[in-house]
Amino acid sequence: MAELSPSRHSAFQVLTGLFSLPAGARVGAGPMIAAAILVAIVLASLLAPLYVPYDPLAMDSMSRLKPPSEMHLLGTDQYGRDTFSRVMTGGRVSLLIGVGAALVSVVIGLVIGLVAGFFRAADGIIMRIMDSLMAIPAILLAIALVALNGPSLGSVIIAITIPEVPRVVRLVRSVVLSAREEPYVEAAIALGSSMPKILVQHLMPNTLAPLIVQGTYICASAILIEAILSFLGAGVSTEIPTWGNIMAEGRSYFQVKPGLIFWPGLLLSLCILAINLLGDTARDLLDPRMKKREG
């Protein structure tokens, strides 16, 4: 896999290429540490119900806003709920939103981008619509969508997805535009292959590598936006703990108990940091030109 030029490899080869390093490429300690941190956070969140000492929703009026102790590792919040149990459980929903938003926006963006890149007639209109969507500040659009559709998990994912779609569309479109000039695509057109077949079999594999990179960035930004939405009062209902709404609820008490913002904030930041670093590494491996540019 010395030259990982996506245009000449099947989807499978690109995927395996992600895990087997190109000859001569070395992955430094940074990405390794990032991967370890991410795996630890994901496992800790997924397995949270097995080991957290308290029900994350159980209120206890006798032990409100308690400092960290043997009974409560990170103390309790204003309702007497155990902060440690809430933060660890909260990771599950935050990660779910991140992965969900990344998948949905990549799939929708891929379909629209393929169409825009291949059909000249549709291109102009689609790209004007995408430009307009990008002109609306993502946070405002997302809060508006959640506020109007209700604070369910699904509507938060949709709200985060819609502002991300234009970026994916632009990426896919640019890949398709350059790939469609390749001889093998022209040959397929000349041979009379059906449009769907050309799109799926010849053009789509080219988009896979950049989409994986873009997907990791979207995942990171989705987790961040979920936190901001919760903070502004337009997130998932507080019945379900997420890193975002634990911090949002801790807002009014942060002078007494900064831990309510600090701990979920720390885990969230570490998680996003790790995902971003892995995204950068994947990008460098998949696109040697960018590697040179970014140093």
Partner 1 sequence: MFSYILKRILATIPVMAIVAVFVFLLLRLTPGDPAAILAGDAATPAQLERIRDRLGLNDPLHIQFFTWIGQMLHGDLGTSLISSTPVAGMIGDRIGPTISIAIMTIIISVLLAVPMGVIAAWRHRTWVDFLVMSFSVLGFSVPVFVIGYILIQIFAIELRWVPVQGYAPLSDGIGPFMTRAILPSLTLATIYVALIARMTRASMLEVLGEDYVRTARAKGVRENVVLFRHALRNAAVPILTIIGTGFALLISGVVVTESVFNIPGIGRLTVDAILARDYPVIQAMILFTAGIYVFVNLIVDVSYSFFDPRIRY
What residue ranges bind partner 1 (CB under 8 A)? 128-129, 131-141, 143-145, 147-150, 220, 224, 227-228, 231-234, 247, 254-255, 258, 261, 265, 268-270, 272-273, 276-277, 280, 293-295
Q: Token match 């963006």: residue?
A: 109
Cα separation, 236 vs 241, whole angstroms: 8
CB 145 → partner 1: shortest distance, Å? 8
CB 128 → partner 1: shortest distance, Å? 5
CB-nearer residue toward partner 1: 238 or 276: 276
CB within 8 Å of 41: residues ≥ 6 apart = 91, 95, 267, 270, 271, 274
CB 227 → partner 1: shortest distance, Å? 5
Tokens for 142? 């997302």
Cα separation, 276 vs 215, whole angstroms: 10
Cα separation, 49 vs 35, whole angstroms: 23
Q: What is the DSSP string of 130-171?
A: HHHHHHS-HHHHHHHHHHHH-S-HHHHHHHHHHHHHHHHHHH
CB 162 → partner 1: shortest distance, Å? 10
Q: Which amino acid is at 26?
A: R
CB-nearer residue toward partner 1: 52 or 268: 268
Q: Which amino acid is at 133?
A: L
Cα separation, 288 vs 12, whole angstroms: 20
CB-nearer residue toward partner 1: 141 or 240: 141
CB-nearer residue toward partner 1: 34 or 104: 34
CB 25 → partner 1: shortest distance, Å? 17
CB 265 → partner 1: shortest distance, Å? 4
Cα torsion angle, 287, 207, 17, 1, sign: negative
CB-nearer residue toward partner 1: 49 or 150: 150
CB-nearer residue toward partner 1: 99 or 129: 129
